[in-house]
Amino acid sequence: MVKSMYDYVGDQWKKPDITYQSPQQQRLIQWRKEENFLRIEKPTRIDRARNLGYKAKPGYTVVRAHVRRGGLRKHAIRKGRKPSAKGISKITMGKNTQRIAEERTAKRYPNMEVLNSYWVGVDGKNYFYEIILVDPVHPAIMKDPKINWISDISHKRRVLRGRTSAGQRGRGLHKKGRGAEKVRPSIRAHQNKGK
């Protein structure tokens, strides 16, 4: 089978060149200086954007956002509590950084709906994501039968309810079958079951 142009672009992103003089490193240096939630003209990873539903037509917007990275370990306490109750290690985030980037972008662009997002880079301080936004009341979107589902009221603020791919992953909905018995309809609902 013949590979398409998007396959070759995707292969380049599987192992990006991270040497100092590489285009990717120069991009990260530039992105650090730019403002957060920056609207960009076209996607950096065209293969991934097209795979997630992006089209180069009116009504679609791509925004680059970054979220700080790092562990959630706290400073060691000196006195006052027993060591097992210190709460220093094994503290994990309730949401992944991609989902946080999507939600913050949705708050920045309140008239748009988040379709999906993808990773574009990481440096010592930040994770960088590109978020695909769709205007649900744009005439070109409302006429397109492949995307006009997003204009329905049931998809309003879908990102804040964990309906994007990153949100579903955080809710455990990418797993099926054995080992996933306790994640549906939600972890909290399973805990309350039988009470």
For residue 183, pLDDT over 90 is answered with no
Mean pLDDT of 24-45: 94
Q: What is the pLDDT of residues 86-109, one digit of tens each?
A: 777 777 888 899 999 999 999 999
50-53 own/partner pairs: CB under 8 Å, 24+ apart? 50/6, 51/6, 52/115, 52/116, 52/117, 52/118, 52/132, 52/165, 53/115, 53/116, 53/132, 53/147
What is the reported pLDDT for 93? 82
For residue 119, pLDDT over 90 is answered with yes
Kindly report the average pLDDT of the chain as a whole number: 91
For the chain, list the domains and their CATH numbers: 5-158 (3.40.1120.10)
